[in-house]
Amino acid sequence: MAHIGKMVFESIVRPEHRGFLLVDSLCARFTYHSREEWEDRIQSGAVLVNGVIATLETRVETGNQVLYQIDNYAEPDVPTHFDVLFEDDEFLLVDKPAGVPVHHTGHIFYNTFTSILRRAFDNEEITPMHRLDRDTGGIMLFSKNRDTATRFQRHLDLILLKKIYLAVVHGRFSQEIQRCDLALQEKKDSRIRLKMYPCLEGKPSTTLFRLVKHREALFHSIPGPFSFVEAELVTGRKHQIRAHLSALGYPVVADRLYGHEGFYYEKMLNEPLTTEDYAVLGAENQMLHAYKVQLKLPYFKEPQWFESKAFTKEMQEMLTDQPSF
């Protein structure tokens, strides 16, 4: 665990929560604690509204400052290294390591990748222009100020022209599979609510694929065959590449959610995965890496390609055990 000490989290009450009991407002916005946990924290004096210790009877108004104090704060260790691939006055193009979330989760607030960059560059306005899953490493584009984020966020496709990922998947991927147009959506009756499923009523989703090569040999104790596949996002749905590959019958190696019928994802919710679990999965992080982007900033004469090969240790081992990539 990465022990940080005392932490104070700040939020501002939104207009839609005007007149709410504080505990109702907190439960609606911050679901990482149950109602009972929020009540305990309020009663212990850990929550302040406009600098005053709150009670269970405290009601909030639009714009109120809510401070939540935690002593002996600790959160899981995550990788904090990164490489800068491009930087100017408005943008940062960086390599995110696999295993660190971009935004805060129920257990990680301090060491989100966005926070890591803000501290490294002493700039609280650094903003991610798109997302990568916690378990996925690779290239991300960040704006360095709020004005840039506002100007380009809604029209990102005009500057970030192409995003290409490299995946290592189970099975002999067919060279004939060059495109997947399966619509995707969550299922309300699924055991795992955040999982995306192919569905006629889902959001249109398109991924382009290119087979790079096959590998027949086993990897550690996991039997082959495996395939190295390039995946290019045409649309940008949640988990799109992983969901498409799984639906096609080629799950990403070490994908806890879409591989092994989600068994290891569900187990992870209740207890830490063991060395034996990771041996079955093949790696601690899924073998999916955002490794190429084509960028066309307004002042570029021509679009430029940027490439990352900062793969995880296991993915690098899988790749270098083959002819040069």
- pLDDT tens, 193-243? 889 999 988 999 999 999 999 999 989 889 999 999 999 999 999 999 999
pLDDT for res 105: 74
Structure tokens at 115: 């926070």
CB 168 within 8 A of CB 316: no
pLDDT for res 106: 64
> Which of the pair, 107 or 20, is modelled with greater confidence?
20
- What's the CA gap between 27 and 35, in Å, rounded? 6
Q: Going by DSSP bridges, is the β-strand pair 2-12/91-96 parallel, antiparallel, or unpaired?
A: unpaired
* pLDDT higher than 50, residue 147: yes
Residue pLDDT, tens place only, 264-317: 999 988 898 999 999 999 999 999 999 999 999 988 999 999 999 899 999 999
pLDDT for res 1: 46
Output the 3-class SS for 118-168.
Answer: HHHCCCCCCEECCCCCCCCEEEEEEECCHHHHHHHHHHHHHCEEEEEEEEE
pLDDT for res 184: 96
CB atoms under 10 Å from CB of 85, counted, come to 18
Structure tokens at 106: 């129920």
Average pLDDT along the chain: 91
Q: Can you give the pTM of this predicted structure?
A: 0.80
In the chain, % helix, strand, coil (3-state, to 5) comes to: 25, 30, 45
Closest CA to 68 of 36, 46, 39: 46
Closest CA to 268 of 34, 151, 68, 107: 107
Q: What is the DSSP letter of 234?
A: S
Q: How confident is the model at residue 323 (pLDDT cuts 50, 70, 90)?
A: very low
pLDDT for res 182: 97
pLDDT for res 322: 55
* pLDDT higher than 60, residue 324: no
pLDDT for res 152: 93
Q: How confident is the model at residue 2 (pLDDT cuts 50, 70, 90)?
A: low
In whole angstroms, what separates CA 139 from the centre of its chain?
A: 12
pLDDT for res 172: 97
* pLDDT above 70 coverage of the chain, percent: 95
Residue pLDDT, tens place only, 257-269: 999 999 999 998 8
Q: How confident is the model at residue 143 (pLDDT cuts 50, 70, 90)?
A: very high
- What's the CA gap between 48 and 38, in Å, rounded? 12
Mean pLDDT across the stretch 52-74? 89
> Which of the pair, 237 or 111, is modelled with greater confidence?
237
Residue with tokens 């700039």: 123
pLDDT for res 29: 84
Domains of the chain: 2-75 (3.10.290.10), 76-156 (3.30.2350.10), 159-325 (3.30.2350.10)
Mean pLDDT across the stretch 133-150? 94
CA geometry: angle 257, 259, 264, nearest 5 deg: 55
